[in-house]
Amino acid sequence: MEPTQATAAVAISEHFATIADVDEAIRANAAIERIQSQGIPEYIAPRRLTAFEKPFFERSLELRQLIFMKHFYSESDAVTQIFQREHERNRIAAKSEKVPRKYLDSFRKTFRDLNDECNNAFGYKVRWFLDLGCAPGGFATWLLRNNKKARGTGITLSSGSGGLQFQLDAKLRERFWVYFDDVCRFAMGQAILGTPGRGFDLVLANASIMLGGDVVPWNQSVRLTHAQLLMAVQHLAPNGTLVMSLKARPLHWIVDIVEVLRDLFTSVVAVKPQSQARRSFVYMVCRGFRADVGSKGRYILRLRECLEYLNNITGPIDAPSGGTENIPRLHGVEGEALADESYQYVIGLFRNAWIRQYSAIRLHYESALQPSKPVDPELDSSTSEDVAAGSQ
């Protein structure tokens, strides 16, 4: 397909005056014929599309559209101005003496949406859950209110160590125990968790480093994800459920984790609640934990190796002899190529999340280009935006 006049200057998105211009540029750029004849444009930086992701990009129109949309959005002056105002508001709120309850409420609503999207999978049946990164306490609030017999155990960083403040209501705290500590210490066996005999019937893995404005070293955030998976493998009861937040990108290490989840659970779906639709992650809802003793032991050993690697690695995320590409493999054999079926599986898993994220970014972009058009506040509740940063 020949480039049209409208697409000639598409890399310079500040020139887009209307969302219709953006739509037209994405339509032209994401067309597979154009990619095949002209290659992937250079302005799509490697941090936004790694070599490992390219075959996914070529196979999925939804992923191509999302990557172009993220690029144009992050380049837009109008959007940048909105982010600057948002960051300033968050910075002032974080400094205020009185910690607002809006984050707790927003996580509670997210869990409500998640439950709705999973046909009420978490109402009335939860008995004992483990909540990793439990502050401010939104997920726990929803679960304890909607499961009168449930009890919970949480692990979360203390405020003194940079964690969010834990704000669960006093009445609900009667059924919830908290360790103010680092999840990674439990995963590495440096701290001991009290567990119910059979294990937890639900594990929530939603700890993420939130250092308002500071750049989080890549190895620490990837390590935290692996540590949470290790905790789930160690402490889930047979047939239990894991809800784990994961980047919705087919990165090397993410696909490896997806393969593990697929192996360990009878059902795996990726859910993107509308209230966090602009952000680049999904909640993996994994039901029917079915690890036998052998596979459990094998994954525990491999996950520990990953934690060691991530603890000791320095240098950039894409270093050829380090980085994420060289994290020890969890599933399959080192260096083994991905099967065609796995590409289809991963694309099928993330497709709806990519579509939803695309629509949410497009709506926000439209309102930035046309300030008279208000944004739905439910949609605009991200606490820290990772789309524009394009972080891996």
Minimum distance of ligand SAM from residue 385's CB (angstroms)? 14
Considering the rule CB under 6 A, would residue 135 count as an interface residue with ligand SAM? yes
Closest separation between CB of residue 296 and ligand SAM, Å? 23
Q: Is residue 303 within the footprint of ligand SAM (CB under 6 A)?
A: no
Taking the C-alpha atoms of residue 321 and residue 232, their distance in angstroms, rounded to an integer, is 30
Distance between CA atoms of residues 264 and 258, nearest Å: 10
Distance CA 392, CA 383 (A): 18
Per-residue H/E/C for 213-249: CCCCCHHHHHHHHHHHHHHHHHHEEEEEEEEEEEECC
Q: How far apart are the first and last CA of the chain?
A: 31
| Residue 36 or 190 having the CB closest to ligand SAM | 190
Please tell me whether residue 46 adopts helix, strand or coil conformation.
coil
Helix boundaries (H) for the chain: 19-30, 32-38, 54-59, 61-75, 77-95, 102-117, 138-146, 170-173, 183-187, 218-235, 252-264, 293-312, 340-369
Should residue 191 be labelled a site residue for ligand SAM when binding is judged by CB under 6 A?
A: no
Return the residue of 136, 199, 250, 273 that touches ligand SAM, per CB under 6 A. Answer: 136
For ligand SAM, give the closer residue by CB, 139 or 358: 139
Length of the chain: 392
The residue (of 282 and 346) whose beta carbon lies closer to ligand SAM is: 282
**Which of these ranges, 128-136, 305-313, 314-322, 367-375, lies near ligand SAM under the rule CB under 6 A?**
128-136
Q: Is 232 in the site for ligand SAM (CB under 6 A)?
A: no
Q: How many residues bind ligand SAM (CB under 6 A)?
A: 23
Using rule CB under 6 A, residue 139 touches ligand SAM: yes
Single residue of 121, 188, 210, 355 touching ligand SAM by CB under 6 A: 210
Q: Does 208 bind ligand SAM (CB under 6 A)?
A: yes
73 binds ligand SAM (CB under 6 A): no
Q: Which is nearer to ligand SAM, 72 or 103 (CB)?
A: 103
Residue closer to ligand SAM (CB basis): 80 or 106: 106
> 138 or 199, CB closer to ligand SAM?
138
Quick check: helix, strand or coil at residue 115? helix
- Is 152 a binding residue for ligand SAM by CB under 6 A? The answer is no
- 61 part of the interface to ligand SAM, by CB under 6 A: no
Two tokens at 26? 């994405």
Considering only 94, 209, 269, 355, the residue that binds ligand SAM (CB under 6 A) is 209
**Amino acid in position 228:** Q
Among the listed residues 26, 30, 66, 224, the single contact to ligand SAM using CB under 6 A? 224
The window from 119-127, 207-215, 268-276, 300-308 that contacts ligand SAM (CB under 6 A) reads 207-215
Q: Which candidate, 241, 236, 229, 231, places its Cα nearest to that of 268?
A: 241
- Does 154 help bind ligand SAM (rule: CB under 6 A)? no
Q: Using the rule CB under 6 A, is 207 a contact of ligand SAM?
A: yes
- Cα separation of 216 and 218, whole Å? 6
Residue nearest to ligand SAM (CB): 133
Across the beta sheet with 236-247, the strand order is: 176-180, 151-156, 128-132, 200-205, 236-247, 281-289, 265-271
User: Rule CB under 6 A: is residue 163 a binding residue for ligand SAM?
Assistant: yes
Query: Could you count the other beta carbons within 10 Å of the beta carbon of residue 68?
Result: 24
Helix, strand, or coil here: 261?
A: helix
Does the protein bind ligand SAM through residue 182 (CB under 6 A)? yes
Tell which one of 44, 49, 183, 310 touches ligand SAM (CB under 6 A). Answer: 183
Which of 143, 150, 354 has the alpha carbon at shortest distance from 247?
354
Q: Is the Cβ of residue 135 or residue 232 nearer to ligand SAM in the bound state?
A: 135
Where do contacts with ligand SAM occur on this chain (CB under 6 A)? 104, 107, 133-139, 155-157, 163-164, 182-184, 206-210, 224
